[in-house]
């Protein structure tokens, strides 16, 4: 996955504002924040979307959620939203699975 944007961030070929990193996952600030706190949590291994991740590495889904919750608290959030966009119609633009963590403002429902 040499051309994958997020794989390039994992390899350090592109810079990102990384707030948390382990061997298996990274959390960094979204380049186009949609809330005062907007982070993306990714597995360091390439998987296309949340369904693929769940099928190929089920434990990684929970690890992403756990890490996102811990980082949310470090960011001072008590309330936040976690979102996986799966597929272009759902808004996915980077096809390396990522969990959006958004917080710091009131949010409406349903999302657009």
Q: What's the min distance (Å) between Cβ of 42 and ligand DGP?
A: 9
- How far apart CA 29 and CA 41 sit, in angstroms, is 9
- Using CB under 6 A, pick the residue from 4, 5, 48, 65 that binds ligand DGP: 5
**46 annotated active-site:** no
Contact between 71 and ligand DGP by CB under 6 A: the answer reads no
Contact between 45 and ligand DGP by CB under 6 A: the answer reads no
Look at phi and psi of residue 104 and say left if phi exceeds 0, alpha if psi is from -120 to 50, else beta.
left
- Using CB under 6 A, pick the residue from 16, 41, 53, 72 that binds ligand DGP: 16
Contact between 93 and ligand DGP by CB under 6 A: the answer reads yes
SS3 39: strand
Q: What's the min distance (Å) between Cβ of 106 and ligand DGP?
A: 20
If one counts every other C-beta atom within 10 angstroms of the C-beta of residue 100, the result is: 19
Q: Comparing C-alpha atoms, which of 26, 51, 39 is closest to residue 102?
A: 39
């Amino acid at each position: 996955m040499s051309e994958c944007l997020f794989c390039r961030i994992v390899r350090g070929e592109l810079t990102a504002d990384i707030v948390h990193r382990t061997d298996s996952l990274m959390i960094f600030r979204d380049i186009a924040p949609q809330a005062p706190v907007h982070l993306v949590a990714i597995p360091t291994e390439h998987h296309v979307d949340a369904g693929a991740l769940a099928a190929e590495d089920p434990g990684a889904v929970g690890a992403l959620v756990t890490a996102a919750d811990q980082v949310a608290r470090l960011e001072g959030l008590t309330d936040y939203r976690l979102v996986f966009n799966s597929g272009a119609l759902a808004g996915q633009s980077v096809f390396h699975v990522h969990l959006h963590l958004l917080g710091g403002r009131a949010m409406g429902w349903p999302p657009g």
